[in-house]
Structure 1
Amino acid sequence: MNVLSTLARMHYRLFLSFFLIPTLAFSQTNLIKFSGNPILPLGAPGEWDDTEASHAFVAFDGAAFQMWYSGASQENTYRIGYATSPDGLSWTKDATNPVLDVGGANSFDGFNLWTPHVYADESGYQMWYSGGLTISGIGYATSPDPSSWIRQSSQPVLEKGNSGMWDEDYAYLPIILRNGSSYQMWYTGRSADGLVQTGYATSTDGMYWSKHANNPVLSVGGPGEWDSDGASAGSVLFEDGQYHMWYSNWSNPITNIKIGYATSTDGINWIKHAENPILQPASGGWDAKNVWFPTVVKDGHRYRMWYTGTVPGTSLDRLGYAEDFSKAAHVDSMWVSRKTAVAGLHTNEFYAHIANPHNENLTARALIVNDGGSLNASIELKLIHNETDLWRGKWLIPDNPDNYSVSVELTNHSANYVHNSFDWGLFDEFHSNARTHSFTEHAHIADGSGGAAGFGVAVSSDGTVFLANYSDGLRAYRYDGTSFTNTAHIDDGGNAAIASSVFINTNGTIFLANGGDGLRAYTYDGHLFTNTAHVNNSGFTQSVVVAPDDSTVFLAGSTPGLQAYHYDGHAFTSLGSIDDGGPDVSAGDVFVAPDGTVYLANGFDGLRVYTFDGTSFTNTANDSASAHAVAVAPDNTIFVGGCDGLRAYTYNGTSLTRMAEFEMRGCAFSGALALATDGTVFLTIAADVFVQDPGLWAFQYENDLFRNTAYNPPDGFGIALGQDGTVFHAGRQGLFAYTYNMTTGVNEKISAVPEKFKLEQNYPNPFNPTTTIEFALAESGIVTLKVYNVLGAEVATLVEGRKGAGRHTISFEAAGLASGLYYYTLTAGEFRQSRKMVLLR
């Protein structure tokens, strides 16, 4: 490639684009830093740029990038180097570097030269650069190619001002635009009292310059404003009849320098952006001290900035990259459907909101990387039918358990660039685990005919198993470890009766939720059932439970949704009822905690929590996600089975907090939950046209994380646990008895207690207004999790106090915060980690 002619064509097209591409107001200010910063590596020890590599000018011809940059082997001894890049991110330094060295001993640039600006046409290359530090001015050199530079003068072509002038201390940092034979320069000057401002000059040949009479043209801000001590231009573009400037403020000492934006119609009278500054030092990291010296390129609909960042605690500078792609095709947000999955069973879905404001030709892929850093898969994403920006792909998770990170790679075929969401802090993570246990069947029985199906099951203290057998009524069985023997059967209620749920209180009374027949109570003598009470207040009853007082009975169903009765051994007396959620809602399950709190799985109305004072219910909390089964553990963790799978909550008396979720494929119509003494959570899933994995599931729940440990495919509605741990499972195929045991030879990768501290990326990201933050603690201790704005000011404290070892999940609601970039930082002992998140309202 002829570099000279390419660069010349680049400038020609650049000036054409100023007049042909419409300006998109303030799309130049939504800058996001590249996660791979700094992008220009230092030289090897002993090389000319082994200490600093920064203060760059970048040119782009539509296919490749060229950079002239300032390098130093010790502080403030800059020379100028040259590098090229196919994408503006990965750079190759020229073998002849430095391409412009310091001048002679008596020249103005004999000690230092830096901040180059290059222009090229068919006649060759021109460079303007800053020379010296205290003896400063702007020098000029020419070259037939990018690297063979010859000074045109030992003196500056633009000198600092005379005594008393606004630029008497120094003049440096040239920015050049050329239109035909006319040159424009914006440069930085400093006065004797330390004010740093921007001046303007013109030339007909690029060597002899006339300063503007009304300099400075970009002045400092007013007292208390962010740029009250300095306004130093770093880059200027001309587009659609308007000049765009990116500039830096100043301070003494030199710290907390930021970048702002301004516009002008004539290059002289500037209007500063109302929301300046637009790029700030990070709250931690390589550029936490300063961000300054920007150079900006318009690449299609993207504004691409290379900037200098100062390493904290030093005055050493490196080169970073930021981009404003808000008006270009890009990944807005992305997420995975499952945070926890079963290796070899589950398919994970990957979603991305992809902005495409100019309807360009795009393709997208989900890049899945495992814990070892290897690319496991590249999955095609497709735009969902009837959606404008939502893309989706699916991946069958491999058999081996692992941790995965997922990002989205977007290829814009129209504009010829690749946008990877990971580079901008947009990615999600999930893990897969192997099943460590299995169910072993020991007995099965299927009594009844026609519509018989095991719906509810309960086990008495003497081991008798009671089965609510749908249209077949109520049955009792003796189980000897290998087989069932039916010892009694009763079918009350006629055609309306649908035996749905059975519960045994401490004195052995059996309560049956009998569908359209209402509620019945029975005694059982080992051979026969005796119906002792019956009540039917209309509606369809689905679940029954007895309070710890052994006499208050709660019944869940259609209308009313939740009822309370007193049972005296002979009759039911209605105490109260409540019907929340609307006429189309049918309550599926009810659970009473030892303290009397009532938890109602209210179908597609969600989970509701009530207190009951003996006559009336008070709804104290609810969660709108569908709820079909509910159970509460001894530690007060609430487990809910819903259409989306299994969830865990905590309840503080006034509100519910979702702590974890295990998502199922399709819609999981949960039948029942049972909790073992060792903490195992058993869940039954009924078969349905929308259900992909009906059957019996087992989970371990530790440290706010579900791990699926076993699965057995026959669908089911009811579940109960014997005192010896036998699992009784009722479904369409009848009643089963299983043992649940650990599987030998299973390699389980995911440990209950994490091996290391880690702060996860929030999800979703960007978010509005709520997002979830997860972190892992290898050991217990004092922990803080705080949120900061881009200025480093703390805006929220999410965690402050002692936390146990394990995985933790926090929900952050950004109420009252403005859109923009935020940082969240986890501190635990000596461990400290920060991540970025974006609030988009």
Structure 2
Amino acid sequence: MKTVLLFLLFTSLIHSQQQVDIPWQTLANSPWPMIAHDPQITGRSPYSGPKTPTIKWTLDLPYGVYSGPIIGEDGTLYVGTNAYLYFMGDTTNYFYAIDPDNGRIIWTFLTGTPFANESGYLINNEGTIFFGSQSGWLYAIDTKGNLKWKYDTGGNIHQRVMNTDLQGNIYIANSTGYLFSFSKEGRLNWKANYGGGLFPRSVSFSPDGNTIYTTGKGSNLYALNLDGSLKWYLECPGDRRLPLLIDNNGNIIFLAGCTPPWSLTSIDSLGNLNWEYVINNNNANFTESSPAMDYEGNIYYTYVADSAGVVWYSRLESVDYYGNYRWTYQFDQPEEVIVMPLICDKDGTVYCGSTFGYNYYAVSKDGELLWQIPLEGYYVENSTAIASDGTLYIGKCLYSTFTQGVKTLIAIQDTGSTSVSQSSIEASDYSLSQNYPNPFNATTHIKYSIPQSGKVKLTVYNLMGSEVARILDIYQGAGSYDVTFQPKDLASGIYFYTLTSGNFTTTKKLILLK
């Protein structure tokens, strides 16, 4: 009898950690219908992503991609632009449908405001695409790019994840601090404000869809009913903007925003503590990246910590379903930071990119680096999706007024060429080409090659030898590169640009005419 009971107990524990996909009939039946994949914010794809960084295609969306893409039921990609165009003289921003086979734009929707589309997006089971703008407008469009409705919420919409319940209602928060619930037809159901404001917090749903989980400005954790009323809350002082991860058993996993020591915490659906894993570094701190959970119940999360009290490094760490330590992977690039919601594929491979423009990474479920690609100074903020054929889509952007982005949407698959921003032909030596055009009055291109991986600096000096612009200061792999220099505050004149990598340094002259 004891043997049988022990076997049943062991079997129960094994099954409790296994995760399955929770059906959600109000979402599109697609590989990636929303940011972070599902209403429980697991970041988990049911498909295998690329294990090599080979390129299917790239697309130049000059205004950059902050969030998305999401994927429709037919595989079409949907994504919005990042740039704030008011100072550029443009009166609208853009949202696109893109062919997944070749990266071509199918249609373009004009938002009618110059403000960036930075919120998370989702597509529902009726094919309606929802996205928010920093203008405060919430948009609903169909899969042909036609406006169904829009609603002015009165404040900037800038949250990582937009979500939907099992009744099809849409949930967003804006800069007024309110959490809004809208019907799918655009009717305001209610708005609520707790804990000094819920902006720019995202909401997660319990597996049965009856409870909303979110955090407040003071980082207290709130459980709400579907009418916006309070079920319970958990006090945890600190400033955490992270979406909450919900497992199949309704447990809530989050990075606690309390005072050090920092911890990854699991609580049950009533707010009772399951376990707490304390980060073993007194100088650790969490970024805005939300955790992911694979099908085995393993949890992945990132944080930054110093090395011997000198240099900050970003770390990807994993614990099992019960909070037991598994492994830590430390990124090589100093001062690396990951803020995008982590995602993982069916095999437990974790994908994430730098918010400082260094690299995009794939790390195995055992903590081994599979590959990395240079981002050439571009940021990955709230982007990555995995399609049913295993293609990984990555959006990149620069600062909000940058309008000359190249290769800002990338499709990576286990077939194709060898890298994203790197030439398929390896560079045999260091070289720096003359900028073109030269002279120039607004924008010029600078090409260079490096034969081995290393830190690359591209710096501009005036005639007095003073640094006036830092074009690049990043780690890059061997290859040939083409960067754009767009000086805004420099006067007409002669300048020098210098490439430094390893022990190699060379300088050329450029002429700016305004």
Larger radius of gyration: 1
Structure 2 length-normalised TM: 0.47
Between the two structures, name the one with larger relative contact order (CA 8 Å, sep ≥ 6): 2
